[in-house]
Amino acid sequence: MQCIGIIPARYDSSRFPGKPLVQIRGKSMVQRVYERASLCSDLKEVIVATDDERIFEHVSAFGQVVMTSPAHPSGTDRCLEALDNHNASGIYGDGDAVINIQGDEPFIHPGQISQLARMLGDTEKQIVTLARQLENREKASDPNMVKVVFSDSGRALYFSRYPIPFVREKTDQAPKKPYQHIGLYGFRIGTLRRIAGMPAGSLEEAEKLEQLRWMQQDLEIFVEETYTESISVDTPEDLRALLERGDLP
């Protein structure tokens, strides 16, 4: 199985326009993500998928980039177009894999990408992702931080912006800390083709979470725990907080 890493990068983010090009200690956000992802030996290659000429020209100076059309409802759909544009020679088949790497995690750990690649080595798994237990339960109330619950075998049961599960009574069996969903996905390419263009369902419309569309269509998503901190930049306030930290590379 071959794995390709794809980083969707839009300029017109509603909460933070121009986010891929913001500078973080002398490098752009998208360059940091690209360089960190490129350290993962389980990826055959890494490409950036964008619909913006500014991002295209910037990334062309240091790495591989593919121009896509702007009319995509999600980063997942953009990944498929980028793959098809890049894969004209047919290097990748439906049994190979795409790792969808978030363009707003400038210090992503290559080991997390490898973890997804290893999960996809199990041929029964078509969509895989990661979660990390929150140390501070109060952060679970942040709707920008997506939470997930999953079964003992790792099948995702639900994703929500709400702090799930709701603990009605504190017992020894009650979950002590919720799990934050880490927005990395691994897909078999055949499955990526199946989900691209799927109509939105009622759960996705309610929560504005694309993965609920797939689950509502009876697709299984497998979750593994990661112990590595995920540092995402969703807003200018997140960037300011990031730049104030003294413990980053």
Give the model confidence (pLDDT) of 98-109 as tens digits. Answer: 999 998 888 899
* % of the chain residues with pLDDT over 90: 63
Other CB atoms within a 10 A radius of the CB of residue 248 amount to: 11
- In whole angstroms, give the CA distance from residue 73 to residue 224: 27
The domains of the chain are located at 3-241
Residue 197, sorted as left (phi over 0), alpha (psi -120 to 50) or beta, turns out to be left
| Cα four-point dihedral sign 47, 232, 207, 178 | positive
- In whole angstroms, give the CA distance from residue 163 to residue 160: 7
pLDDT at position 186 over 80: yes
Average pLDDT over residues 37-45: 97
pLDDT at position 174 over 60: no
Say which range, 12-21, 46-55, 111-120, 156-165, has the weakest mean pLDDT: 12-21
- In whole angstroms, give the CA distance from residue 21 to residue 28: 5
Q: How confident is the model at residue 233, as a pLDDT?
A: 73
Tokens of 141: 């109330």
The mean of the pLDDT values for the chain is 90
Average pLDDT over residues 155-181: 84
3-state secondary structure of 147: strand
Q: How confident is the model at residue 249, as a pLDDT?
A: 65
For 227, counting Cβ atoms within 10 Å of its Cβ (0-12 exposed, 13-18 middle, 19+ buried), the class is: exposed
**What band does 240 get if pLDDT is binned at 50, 70 and 90?**
confident
pLDDT at position 213 over 90: yes
pLDDT at position 173 over 70: no
Q: How confident is the model at residue 241, as a pLDDT?
A: 79
Q: How confident is the model at residue 122, as a pLDDT?
A: 77
**What band does 243 get if pLDDT is binned at 50, 70 and 90?**
confident
Give the DSSP letter string of 29-45: HHHHHHHHHHT-TT-SE
Tokens of 53: 């000429």
CA-nearest of 140, 176, 177, 182 to 161 is 140
Q: How confident is the model at residue 107, as a pLDDT?
A: 87
φ, ψ at 33 (rounded to 5°):
-65, -45
Site of tokens 């200018």:
236
Average pLDDT over residues 6-18: 84
Q: How confident is the model at residue 124, as a pLDDT?
A: 85
Kindly report the CATH number that applies to the domain delimited by 3-241.
3.90.550.10
Site of tokens 């639900």:
158
CA-nearest of 102, 78, 86 to 20 is 102
pLDDT at position 137 over 80: no
The Cβ-side half-sphere exposure at 40, using a 13 Å CA radius, reads 28
Q: How confident is the model at residue 128, as a pLDDT?
A: 98
